[in-house]
């Protein structure tokens, strides 16, 4: 019983005690904290060994093992944070689902992935790896997909922050919640922190809006921390409505890259179509892929996924009612395609082109 009673020493006395025993000098506040731990360690060791090991042995043993214990503690904390934030590992293969010809794949490769991976080469040539990025473009064009793909090839943690998570405590607390999230993310070694639908929390609806001031102010505080060289945190936001974002956020020096994600070219569509075809009950020899590529002009990746859902449902129902094997053919696609309107209309493309001119920065 006597052993487990903490000795009530002042912080200075703790520092002196530790110094007497080990020769190591700690700041008083830290020493007070360490002293408590040393006492606990003494109790634990004595229990284990079935005899009183004495303060001197406990203190020396504790300090010797402190490095290890600290490392274990940090690993433990990190695991806690990962679960808490819903951090995910993303397969590197998702990068290969994107055609090399699909913008902005090449740009992302050269401007983001390589500089972050090739740190020494970046330093040698004075290239500053980007840390803060915005993707913008019409819905369904693959912005979220790109962010996941980046986390995948970098082999960094992927942490998606929903605007609703930041808004739970009301509009005034959005900045404070972002602050807490970023503090936790920093404890991880390497992470992509992603806020999707960024306009929901960063739109400038009115000049004095509490919402955008809270998030804008916090973001401006985070920028220098993110740009700190030792930090391996990539902060990415995506928005369908770049025009709505608070102008203060988009000024130079804040986001390193503002990148448009737009329509697919033929090769981009072909890559996605081929991948999705493999999931259908289909004999590839019976399908004119070239024709389908032509017929899906102005389809976004989301539209193409929708098309495949419709085709799959159609062929499933056919086989169910006919009671015999139904294989998807070109005709199946030709029948279903006219029912689906591509998301990218003339008007949307025209507005997007204007946004590219006004906002892009790479
Ligand atoms: N290059 C691609 N290859 C395959 N699927 C893709 C590709 N780009 C996007 N997708 C898929 O299309 C859908 C819409 O993409 P998403 O990234 O959510 O668009 P956005 O975030 O721009 O609205 C998602 O299901 C996504 O997985
Ligand atoms: Mg998205």
Model pLDDT, residue 4? 47
Residue 290 phi, psi (nearest 5)? -55, -40
Residue 182 CA to residue 201 CA, distance in Å, equals 16
pTM of the model: 0.79
Judge if 92-262 and 266-343 fold alike in CATH terms.
no
Model pLDDT, residue 168? 87
Residue 148 Cα to ligand 1 midpoint, Å, equals: 10
Model pLDDT, residue 7? 55
Answer positive or negative: Cα dihedral of 250, 251, 254, 260: positive
Q: Which residues of the chain have pLDDT under 70?
A: 1-7, 205-212, 229
Burial of 264 (0-12, 13-18, 19+ CB in 10 A): buried
Residue 196 Cα to ligand 2 midpoint, Å, equals: 6
Residue 139 Cα to ligand 1 midpoint, Å, equals: 9
- As a residue count, the chain comes to 362
Mutate which of 96, 145, 199 for ligand 1? The one with the most ligand atoms within 8 Å of its CB, which is 145
Q: In the 8-state DSSP scheme, what is residue 95?
A: G
Number of the ligand 1 atom closest to the C-alpha atom of 196: 21
Residue 262 Cα to ligand 2 midpoint, Å, equals: 13
Residue 279 CA to residue 78 CA, distance in Å, equals 38
Q: Which CATH architecture has domain 92-262?
A: 3-Layer(aba) Sandwich (3.40)
Query: Cβ contacts of residue 56 below 8 Å, gap of 6+?
Result: 21
Residue 303 Cα to ligand 1 midpoint, Å, equals: 9
CATH of 266-343, one of 3.90.1170.40, 1.10.3720.10, 3.40.50.2300, 1.10.8.60: 1.10.8.60
pLDDT in tens, 24-44: 888 888 889 899 999 999 999
For the Cβ of 142 lying below 6 angstroms from any atom of ligand 1, the answer is yes
Domain boundaries, the chain: 2-76, 92-262, 266-343
Model pLDDT, residue 287? 92
Residue 63 CA to residue 52 CA, distance in Å, equals 18
Model pLDDT, residue 49? 92
Nearest CA to ligand 1 atom 16: 142
* Token representation of residue 105: 């794949």
Residue 129 CA to residue 133 CA, distance in Å, equals 11
For the Cβ of 148 lying below 6 angstroms from any atom of ligand 1, the answer is no
């Amino acid at each position: 019983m006597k052993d487990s009673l903490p000795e009530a020493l002042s912080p200075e006395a703790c520092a002196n005690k530790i110094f007497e025993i080990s020769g190591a000098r700690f700041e008083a506040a830290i020493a007070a904290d360490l002293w408590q731990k040393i006492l606990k360690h003494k109790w634990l060791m004595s229990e284990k060994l079935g005899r009183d090991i004495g303060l001197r042995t406990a203190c020396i043993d504790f300090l010797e093992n402190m490095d290890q214990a600290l490392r274990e503690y940090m690993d433990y904390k990190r695991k806690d944070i990962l679960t808490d934030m819903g951090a995910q590992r993303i397969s590197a293969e998702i990068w290969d689902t994107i055609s090399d010809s699909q913008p902005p794949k090449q740009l992302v490769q050269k401007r983001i992935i390589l500089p972050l991976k090739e740190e020494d080469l970046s330093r040698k040539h004075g290239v500053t790896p980007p840390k803060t990025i915005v993707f913008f473009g019409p819905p369904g064009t693959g912005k979220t997909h790109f962010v996941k793909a980046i986390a995948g090839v970098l082999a960094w943690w992927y942490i998606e922050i929903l605007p609703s998570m930041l808004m739970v405590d009301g509009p005034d607390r959005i900045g404070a919640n972002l602050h807490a999230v970023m503090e936790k993310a920093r404890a991880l070694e390497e992470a992509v922190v992603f806020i999707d639908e960024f306009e929901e929390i960063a739109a400038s609806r009115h000049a004095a809006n509490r919402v955008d001031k809270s998030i804008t102010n916090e973001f401006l505080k985070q920028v220098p921390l993110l740009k700190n060289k030792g930090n391996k945190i990539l902060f990415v936001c995506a928005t369908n409505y770049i025009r709505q974002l608070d102008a203060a956020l988009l000024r130079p020096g804040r986001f390193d890259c503002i990148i448009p994600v737009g329509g697919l070219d033929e090769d981009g569509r072909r890559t996605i179509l081929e991948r999705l075809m493999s999931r259908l009950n289909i004999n590839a020899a019976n399908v004119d892929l070239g024709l389908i590529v032509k017929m899906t002009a102005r389809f976004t990746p989301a539209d193409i996924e929708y098309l495949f859902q419709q085709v799959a449902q159609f062929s499933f129902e056919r086989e169910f009612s006919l009671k015999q094997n139904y294989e998807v053919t070109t005709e199946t696609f030709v029948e279903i395609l006219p029912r689906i309107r591509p998301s990218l209309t003339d008007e949307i493309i025209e507005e997007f082109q204007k946004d590219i001119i006004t906002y892009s920065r790479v």
